[in-house]
A and B are shown apart, each in its own frame.
Chain A
Amino acid sequence: MAETPKKATRSLPKSKQSRHQNPTPSPSTPIPPTPQSLAPPRRSSRLISSPEPLPSPRSSRQALLISNPKTPKKSIDQSPSFAKNVKNPKRKAGTDSIDCALSPVSPDRYEVEKRKKCIEPKTRVSGKLKSEGKKKRVYYRKVVYDGGEFAVGDDVYVKRREEASSDEEDPEVEECKVCYKAGKAVMIECDDCLGGFHLKCLKPPLKEVPEGDWICGFCEARKSGKEVVFPKPPKGKKRVRTLREKLLSSDLWATHIESMWKEVNGSYWFRGRWYIIPEETAAGRQPHNLRRELYRANDFADIEMESILRHCYVMNPKEFGSAKNEGDDVFLCEYEYDIHWHSFKRLAEIDNDEEDGEEADSDEDWKSCQDSDSDAEEVEYEEENRNRLFTGLSKVSQLAANSRKGRTFGLQKIGMKRIPGLVRSHKQTELERAKATLLLATLPKSLPCRNKEVEEITSFIKGAICDDQCLGRCLYIHGVPGTGKTMSVLAVMRNLKSEVDAGRVKPYCFVEINGLKLASPDNIYRVIYEALSGHRVNSKKALQLLNERFSNGIKGGKGDNRPCILLIDELDLLVTRNQSVLYNILDWPTKPHSKLVVIGIANTMDLPEKLLPRISSRMGIQRLCFGPYNYQQLQEIISTRLKGIDAFEKQAIEFASRKVAAVSGDARRALEICRRAAELTDYRIKKSASLLNVASS
C-alpha cells in the first residue's frame, strides 16, 4: 500500500504484452556488465534459485490495486526528513534474514579496474561501427521498453546478476512486520529499520501517525541492548523482500540513465551512472546516513535495457523532504562519491539546472557522431586516470591544475574522506535559519521591489532578439552598488531561458563578463570569442575574428546565427586611454548582421557623458537607472527573505532598513546588518549556555 495506484497500473499490467512487441526478445536476460566484480561470497550465500527475470504475479497486483489507503506521512520541514512509508519485514530471527549491519565493502582499486575493462570493449565497438559507416546507433530521449517508459534522466533498478534476481515474486506491497498481512489499514514506517507496522499491531496501538521521527519498539529494544525476537511469519508464507530491500542489501543496483540508444542489431542499450549504497563506500555507513540514502558515483557503464527492473526515484534532499506518495522506491541522494579518490562531494543544485538547460538546447535526435566523440574522450580520460592510479603521477598526466588544460584532472581530487557528521545531523535553530537566509549568497525565490526594471529589461531583450535585424541595441544600466542591477539582469535571463525551453522564444546565446575580473581591457575580446566559439586565441586575433563575424554576418554553422546577448558588468573598467575597446564593442551592434545586444552595467550615472562623443552616441540612448532602495523596499526585501522564520522583531527590521536607506540604500548592507545582528544574538545565547554548562558541571 505504499504504492500509489497510478504507478502500479502503469508499470505492471503492460509488462506481459509489451514483451511480445519487443523485436528481439532475448530469452536469456543479458547481464549488466559491471556488477560481477563485487565480492561474491557475501551475496552467494543469499542467492535463491529462481531465475525468472521479471516476476509479477497477477495476484499480488490485484491485491495492490485494492489496497491503497493513504500512506501516512510525516512532513518535517527539515530537509533530510524521512518519507514515511510502509514496509515489509526486513529483519527477523529467521534463516533468510538480512544482516543489517553489513560490513562496509569498499570498491577497491581492483574492482574499479575491472569495471573499466567491462566498459571499454563496448565503446571500441561503437567506434568501429561508426568507421564502417553502415549503420549508426540511434539515440532516443524516451523509450517504451517492456511496458515501462524510460526517459533520459530517470533512475532505474538494474539486475545485478542473473541468479540474483532471486525471489519468487516482486512485491510492491509491504507487509506488516507483526502480522505479515498487507491489508487496508494504515501502516507506519520505522525510521531506523524501515520496517512497516500496522498502527493497530503495535503495542500499545497507535491512533494516528505521530509527528516527527518514530522508531519501532524492536529497534528501541535493540538499541538498549536487549535481545529482540521478531514475530515469525505464519507457516507457509514466505517472507518477501521488496526491490528496495534488495538494493539496500546490495542485491540490486540503481542507476541514472544518461543516454539511450538502439544498437545496430536492434537491441536497446543505455548508459547508466551508478548509485552506490553507503555500505559500499570506503567510509562505510556513517552514523548520520539515512536508511534510504544513496550516493551518486562518478562511474558509468553501458547496460542493455533488458536488465532494467523498474523505476525508482532518487531525489535531492529538498524533493525527498516533500516526497509524499511515490511509494517504496524513494531514495535520497545528496552526495557524489568519487570511486577513484574515495571522497564525497555535495551535489550542486545549480549544476543540475545548467545540465537541464543544455539538454533542452540541443535537439531531440542526437547525432551519433557527437556522442561517440564524447565517448572517445571518456575512454581517454579514464585511461588517464588509471595511469595516475597505478603508476602514480606519470609523465603523461602531469598537467598543472591551474592551467586550463589540466583543470578537469585536478579538481576531482577535492572531496571529503568522510562526510562530517555535524553538517548532516545538525538541527538549525530559528536564528541559524535566519542567518542562512540572510546570506548574500542565497538567492531569494522572488525579487521584490524591482518589478518595473525587470519588466523593462525583459522587454528590451525580447524586442532585441525577436527582431530580425536588431540594430544598435545597447542598454546602459547604472545605479549605486547593492541595488540589484546584476541580479535583475540574471533573473531576466533565467526567465528567458525557461521560455526558450518552452519554445516561446528563439534560442540565443548569453555571454556574461565582469570588467573587474579581466586582467586587462583587451582581454575582453578573447573572453567573448571563447564564449562564442569555444576556441582560445590571443586577443588581437580574437578582435579580428569578432570584427569579421559581426560585420559580415555568419555563413552557415549550427547555432551560430543565434542572436547574442553580451552582459558587461563594471563597464567603467573597460575605459582605456583611447577608449578603443568600448568603441569596438559598442560599434558591433550597429553592424547590419551582427545580431548582438550589449547590456552594460556600471555605477556612475554619467559614464557615457565622460566618454568620447562617438561612444556616448552609441551607448547613451537607452538607459535604465536603479535608484537606491528606500526604507520600505529594504524592509520588504528583508521580510520576504525572513518569511516563516520568527527571529526578528518588526521594529528591528525597520530600524535596520531606515538606517541603511539613510546612508546608501544598499541592500547588501541591510542584509549584512541583519545577519550580523542575528549572529550577535546567537553568540550571546551560545556563550551564556556554555557558561551555564560550566557552572552546572
Chain B
Amino acid sequence: MGRENLAGEALILLRSRLCNPKFVFSPFSDSADSNYSKLKFILSSSVTEACNNSVLLLGPRGCGKNAVLELVIEDLLKEYPDMISVIKLNGLLHSDDNCAVKEIARQLCVEHQLLFSKMVSFDDNTQFMIGMLRECGLAHKTVMFVLDEFDLFAQGKQRLLYCLLDAMQSVTSQAVVIGVSCRLDADQLLEKRVRSRFSHRKLLFLPPSKEDLQRLIKHILVLPTDSSLPHDYVVEFNAKLLNILAKERFKQIIDTLSNSDSTCSNLLRFLFSAVCHMDLKSGFLLIENFKAALSSIQRQPKLEGLKDCSILELYMLVCMWRLEVREQDSYNFNSVMKEYRSIHDSFQTSDYYARNVCLRAFEHLLERELISFMDHRGHNQSTEFRPAKLLISYHELYQGLKSYRSCPAILQKLIDRER
C-alpha cells in the first residue's frame, strides 16, 4: 500500500471527524461542568420525574448550542425509546403565532401518525395542542419543543410562548420548552406574564478557552492507534503532529485565528481547510498547511485591494495615516498633498508627481473604498476640499506594504517609525 493511499485514508478519517459534531463535542461531554451534562440532566429528569421545564440555551453563533442539544436529544431518544417526541420550530420561519401553532399541530400529528388538516383555525390548533400535551402526559410521553432563534418568538403578543408555558402549568402535561438564541438577553425580551411562567433555566455557551482549543485540536487531529491504518504510519503521523502543535509558530497561528473569531465552528472550518491542504505525497500534516489554511480562511479584501495599488497611491495612504497619527481629525486632499510634499522634501524621493496626477490617484482610492469622505454633505464641493478618512487600519496597511512587490524602502521606514 502506497503512502498516498495511506494519506488518503487518514484524510478521509480526519474529514469525517471534523464533520461529525458528536465526535467534536465528545471530550466535553463527560465532565460535570459541561453544558452537555447539565442539559442532559435537566431534560432527562423531566422525562423520568414527569415534570415540566423550560430552558434557554444562550451564546454567540457557532458555539455549538444546537450541536450539543442534538447530541443530548439523540442520547435521550436512545435511552428512553418511545417516550419522547421532539417538536422543532425556528423563529425565522414560525415567528407568526398562527403558523407556529399550525406547525406544532402538524409535527404532533406526524409524530403520532394522526391525520392533519391544514384548514383548521388557530383556536382549534391550540386546543389540539393542549389536548395532545395532556394525552402525552398521561401516557408518560415527554414533548420537547425546540425553539430555535428564540428571540424572534418574543415579538408581538407572545401568544405562542404564553400558550406553551401556560399549558405547562398543569399536572398532567409533561413538556420541555428549549429556547435557543444568540441574544444573551433573550429572557428579558419576554413579557412579564410570560416571564413569570418561564422557569429561568439558562445555559450559557461560550467560545472555548485557549487550553480547550488546544485540547480540541489534539482530540481531532491525532490519529487513533486502533484503526485500520498501519501502526508505524500512525505513530509517525502523530509524532510529527505533536511536534507541530508544540511549536511557537503554530500557537501564533491559532492566536491570530482566535483573535478574530474563537468559536468552535470557526476552528473546525480552519482545521478542515488545513487538512485539505495536506500533501498526499508526504502524507503528513505540515505547519505550512496550517499557514495556508489561515490565509485562506482569513481573506482580507483590503489587503488584496492594496496589492494592485500604484506606488503613488501607497504614498497617499501613508500620508493620510501620518496625518491621523498626528491626531489631525479632519483633512482633505489639500492637506494630504501638503504632507506628501513635505515627505518628498525631507527624504528626496524619486517618486514625485504633479498635483493633478495625485488627484487622480486620490479619486482612484475613493473608488476602491480604501478611503472615503467623512460625511455626505457638500456634494457640490469639488473633491479636493471635502474632508476624507482612511478605511484601512494600521495593521492592514502595514501588512499590505510588507507584502507589496516593490514597495519603496522609504515607505516601510516611515510606517515603522510612526508605530
Q: Which residues of A are in contact with B by a Cβ distance under 8 Å? A: 343-348, 350, 393, 398-404, 406-407, 410-411, 413-417, 419-420, 422-423, 426, 432, 435-436, 439-443, 480-482, 514, 516-519, 523, 527, 570, 573, 603, 664, 666, 668-669, 672-673, 675-676, 679, 682-684, 686-687, 691
Contact = CB atoms under 8 A, between A and B. Distances in A.
Given A439-B171, A440-B169, A687-B37, 19 more contacts: A346-B137, A346-B139, A401-B116, A402-B120, A406-B117, A416-B82, A417-B82, A423-B48, A439-B52, A441-B52, A441-B170, A481-B195, A481-B196, A516-B193, A519-B121, A573-B157, A676-B199, A679-B45, A682-B45
Contacts of A573: 157
Contacts of A480: 192
7 contacts: A344-B139, A345-B138, A400-B115, A420-B80, A676-B199, A676-B200, A676-B201
B335 interface: no
B163 A517 contact: yes
Contacts of A350: 171-172
Contact of A402 (B52, B82, B128, B197): B128
- Choose among B52, B120, B168 the residue with the greatest number of A CB atoms under 10 Å from its CB: B120
Contacts of A420: 80, 83, 140
Interface in B123-155: 123-128, 131-132, 134-141
A346 B120 contact: no
A679 B197 CA distance: 18
B169 A441 contact: yes
A407 B116 CA distance: 11
A686 B41 contact: yes
- Choose among B120, B124, B139 the residue with the greatest number of A CB atoms under 10 Å from its CB: B139
B95 interface: no
Closest 10 interchain pairs by CB? Answer: A400-B117, A401-B114, A481-B196, A519-B122, A402-B128, A410-B114, A687-B32, A346-B138, A482-B196, A481-B193
Interface stretch (B105-113, B214-222, B301-309): B105-113
A524 to B, nearest CB: 11
B17 interface: no
A401 B115 contact: yes
A496 B120 CA distance: 36
- Choose among A414, A426, A672 the residue with the greatest number of B CB atoms under 10 Å from its CB: A414
A401 B49 contact: no
- Choose among A519, A664, A686 the residue with the greatest number of B CB atoms under 10 Å from its CB: A519
B51 interface: yes
Contact of B140 (A346, A402, A675, A683): A346
B373 interface: no
A483 to B, nearest CB: 9
B162 interface: yes
Contacts of A482: 196
Contacts of A439: 51-52, 171
Given A401-B116, A414-B139, A439-B51, A669 B200 contact: yes
B125 A402 contact: yes
A432 B52 CA distance: 14
A696 B324 CA distance: 67
B173 interface: yes
B50 interface: yes
B66 interface: no
Contacts of B117: 400, 402-403, 406
B407 to A, nearest CB: 60
B23 to A, nearest CB: 21
Given A416-B140, A426-B48, A436-B51, A603 B124 contact: no
B162 A423 contact: no
A682 B44 CA distance: 13
- Choose among A350, A420, A435, A691 the residue with the greatest number of B CB atoms under 10 Å from its CB: A420
A675 B54 CA distance: 13
Given A400-B115, A416-B140, A420-B80, A345 B163 contact: no
B139 A343 contact: yes
A442 B136 CA distance: 17
A422 B168 CA distance: 22
B2 to A, nearest CB: 43
Contact of A423 (B50, B113, B116, B192): B50
Interface string B192-212: 110111011100000000000
Interface in B176-193: 192-193
B121 A683 contact: no
Contacts of B168: 440-441
Contact of A668 (B42, B159, B196): B196
A411 B141 CA distance: 13
A406 B195 CA distance: 34
A536 to B, nearest CB: 10
B291 to A, nearest CB: 41
Contacts of B197: 440, 481, 668
Interface string B273-291: 0000000000000000000
B332 interface: no
- Choose among A346, A442, A443 the residue with the greatest number of B CB atoms under 10 Å from its CB: A346
A666 B114 CA distance: 40
Nearest to B124: A404
Nearest to A343: B139
B334 interface: no
A345 B139 contact: yes
Contacts of B258: none
B166 interface: yes
A527 B126 CA distance: 13
A516 B162 contact: yes
A683 B43 CA distance: 12
Contacts of A442: 171
Contacts of B383: none
Contacts of A517: 123, 126, 159, 162-163, 166
Given A343-B139, A345-B138, A402 B116 contact: yes
B98 interface: yes
A603 B193 contact: yes
A439 B82 CA distance: 25
A511 to B, nearest CB: 15
Contacts of B171: 350, 439, 441-443
A683 B200 contact: no
A410 B128 CA distance: 10
Nearest to A520: B122
A345 B137 CA distance: 9
B141 A414 contact: yes
B38 interface: yes
A441 B115 contact: no
A395 to B, nearest CB: 12
B140 A672 contact: no
Contacts of B195: 481
Given A423-B140, A441-B168, A519-B121, A414 B200 contact: no
Nearest to A336: B138
Given A414-B139, A420-B80, A403 B120 contact: yes
Interface in B63-120: 80, 82-83, 98, 105, 108-109, 112-117, 119-120
A687 B41 CA distance: 10
Contacts of B170: 441
B199 A672 contact: yes
Nearest to B45: A679
Contacts of A393: 115
B413 to A, nearest CB: 61
- Choose among B41, B115, B116 the residue with the greatest number of A CB atoms under 10 Å from its CB: B115
Contacts of A417: 82
Contacts of A687: 32, 37
B167 to A, nearest CB: 9
Contacts of B49: 432, 435-436
A684 B169 CA distance: 27
Given A519-B122, A687-B37, A414 B140 contact: no
B213 to A, nearest CB: 25
Contacts of A407: 127-128, 131
Contact of A348 (B113, B138, B169): B138
A389 to B, nearest CB: 14
